[in-house]
Every structure is written in C-alpha cells, then in structure tokens.
Amino acid sequence: MDCKTAPNQGHAAAPSTLGGTMIVAGTVIGAGMLTLPIIAAGMWTGWTLAVLVLSFFMMRASAHMILRANLRYAPGASFDTVVRGTLGRGWNLLNGLSVGFVLYMLMYAYTSGGGATLGHSLGLSWPQGLVSLCFGLLLAACIFWSTRIVDRLSVILMVGMVVAFVAALAGMLPAFRVEHLGDGGTLVAGGERLPRAWYVLATLPYFLTSFCFHASVPSLVKYYGPDEKRIGRCIFYGLLIAGLFYAAWILTGFGVLSREGLRAVYAQGGNISHYLAAVEQVRADAWLGQAVSVFAFLAVVTSFLGAGLGLFDYIADACSFDDRVPGRVKTALVAFAPPVLAGTIFPDGFIMAIGFAGFAAAIWSVIIPALMEWKSLRAHQANRGRLALVWLVLIYGLLSAGFHLLSPDVLDILPVYR
C-alpha cells in the first residue's frame, strides 16, 4: 500500500486506524484457521484458550519489535533492509530463506486444501490431486495476469468470506453442545493416558502461524509514517479481531463435533474436506453444508491469492526477473510449479504444511525481531522489563520451532491426538 503524503502533513487527512486494522486482520485471517479445531482437540477448551491468548500477546510483542526497528529507518524501508541493517547479512540471508520457505509451504497447503474443498463441495468424482492441480493453475493464472485482478478479487472474496463465516456459525449452532466443551480428564493416545497439557506443545507452531502478518509492518510504516501509537493500535485491534474469529471457530467446532469426532477427522488426514464431511454427518442440512463449504473455499482462495502474490514478488526480486511477459512467465514457473505439483502429488498435506510454515515463521517473525530488539536495547542500556519481554518472545519462538521438530511430522516424539 502506498501513501504519497505523510500523516498530518499539509492539509491531507491522516489515514484512519480502521484501514490499518483491516490490513492486519485481513492478512491474518485465512485458511490456516480451518486447522485450529483439529490440531487443538487434544488440549481441548481451557488449554486452547490459554494458547490462543499467549500467541496473541507474543505475536503482538514481536510485531512491535519489528515496528520499532523499522522506525529507525525512513518510511518505505523493507523488512529485508531493516534486518540487514540491524543484524547483518548472515541473519538477513536466514531471514530471506525463512520467508521463502513459509510462502512455498503455505502455497502447497492452500493448493491441497483448495482442491479438497472444491472437490467435496461440488461432489466431483475426479482424483483429488487433479482437482488441486486445476485449482492451483487457475489462481496462479490470476496472479500472473496482474496485481489489479488479485486486488479486486480479494476485496470481493473477503466480504463473501465474512458473510459465509457468520452463516456457517449460525447454521452449526443448533448442533452445538455446551457439555462437549467441558469434557476433561486424561486422553488415551497410542495406548497411553496423557494429561491434556502435553498436547499443547505440538500446537504452538500452528497458533503462531495463525497470528503471523509481520511482513506487513513495513507497509504500515510506509502508510502511516513514523506514528508508532497509531500503528500499534492497528496491530492490537487487527489481532484482536482475528483472535475473536479463531475463538468462535474453534469453540463451535468443539461443541459440534466433540473431541472424538475431531480426533477421527485428524486420523483421516485432517484435510478440510474431512472436517466438512464430519460437520455434515452431525447436522445433515444441505444449507449448512454449503455455508461451511463456501466459507472454507473462500478462506483458501483469499489465502492463496495473498500468499501467491507475495511469493510471486519475492521470486521476481530474488531472481531479478523483469515485469515483462517473458520475465513474468519465468517468475510464475519458479513460484507456482513446485507447490502446485506437490499439492497434486501429495493432496492430503494441509495440516503438515501449516506446521512446517509455523517452524520457519518462528524464525523470521519471532526470533529475528527479538534479536533486533535485544541489540537495540543493549546499545541504549534499556530497563530490565523490556529485556525480560525480549527473552520471553525469544523463548516462545525457540520453543515453537523446536516443538515442531519434535512433532510427528519430523522426529515423532511429541504426542498428537489422532
């Protein structure tokens, strides 16, 4: 987003806080939230809300660390410029690789989830891999054609997604059972009875990813200028809106499907189509099925377009491809061929891909911002309270990344409820 006149300069009106809030909320809310009821089934209601609140505050704190680092540069400086200037080329290289890895994993996840959702909603008898291929190619073509198309589609799709979200929740409420939320005690997994708290560990990368918008912070600085308080309000309200969306979606899923129902969804592969089928079994209502399917589909499409545009621009910049047709073709092939083909060959990797994205996101959106803040505070001999917050954020990022390495997708040490 561009702003030719800084806030409060001349007679130009300052940009509203609402606009920045919607940028944050629109970036954060997406297809990743569809996984949350499934991966949170082990820890259940109390621990899920605790992890949701913890992730909100930690990701808000790390965003403010990026903001303060960015304010030491002129408005318009990119995240890449800020990291390189603050931590040096080595950390900047790690940051760039992490961002690229996250974008590729998200594109694979959205290709897989989009194909599954489209096939389920339309009742297609085609192989899911083929549906994922068609889904990915169609949206990749939109991104290749022009950014303006993505812009206009995103506005329409976001409005539709909100309407479908409200309709889906309203349709699921008749099947909601409050007693499901209080189902406690130990859980049986792999023949062992484990306290619910054990299942918190493997969920941290997923909740971290769900609050990740941090690459947009430099855009907010460019838009608002060096107005730290106003940008801080945008971050707070945007993340708060996302957190409320997540809480409503998770608790509704818990109350409708129950813990064992969600465990069965995870055991089938945990793709979006499995979740939709489980909801339809509990409440056999054609209208509800369509509302939930439309919401899930729009969430995946908006996320694909947003992440895809970011990956397209990232590849064009990294490989120095120009913006003419031959250059855009090369950019599209490098950006979209790997994730779309992976979604075609391995169509049930939605949850796994979101977890790997959380691992890399912990590096560039939590660990690196904490290191930038720590370096700045050391230079200015800051108080212990701010240093303590840096350490808390750093530990949160390290644990989130480390726990993913111990998850069943990698070393298979931590328990998951499936």
Q: Which tens digits make up the pLDDT trace of 257-291? A: 988 899 999 988 888 888 888 888 887 676 777 88
What are the DSSP calls for 365-396, one per residue? IIIHHHHHHHHHHHHHT--HHHHHHHHHHHHH
Higher pLDDT, 162 or 9: 162
Kind and range of the H or E element at 251?
helix 228-267
Do the Cβ atoms of 46 and 254 come closer than 8 Å? Answer: no
Question: Whats the size of the chain, residue-wise?
Answer: 418
Mean per-residue pLDDT for 101-130? 89
- What is the tens place of the pLDDT at every residue in 372-382? 999 998 877 76
The answer on pLDDT for 54 being more than 90 is: yes
Cα within 13 Å of Cα(229), Cβ side? 1
H/E element, 397: helix 384-405
pLDDT > 90? residue 394 = yes
Query: Which range is most confident: 175-179, 317-321, 384-388?
Result: 175-179
Question: Which band of pLDDT confidence, cut at 50, 70 and 90, is reported for residue 152?
Answer: confident
Q: Tell me: the pLDDT tens digits for 284-327? A: 676 777 888 888 888 889 889 888 888 888 888 888 888 899 99
pLDDT given for residue 15 in this prediction: 75
Tokens of 330: 């090369």
Q: Could you please report the per-residue DSSP string of 279-311?
A: HHHHS--HHHHHHHHHHHHHHHHHHHHHHHHHH
pLDDT of residue 5: 38
Which residues, in sequence order, are bridge partners of residue 173?
Answer: none
Tokens representing residue 165 in the block: 């979200």
- Tell me the average pLDDT across 173-181: 89
Could you give phi then psi for residue 121, rounded to 5 degrees?
Answer: -65, -40
Q: Which two tokens stand for residue 257?
A: 């499907």
Q: Could you read off the pLDDT of 188-216 as tens digits, one per residue? A: 555 456 788 899 999 999 999 999 999 88
Predicted pLDDT at 382 = 66
CA distance 280 to 111: 23
The label of the residue with tokens 């499995």 reads 274
The count of C-alpha atoms lying within 13 angstroms of the C-alpha of 195, restricted to the half-sphere facing its C-beta, is 5
User: What pTM does this model have?
Assistant: 0.86
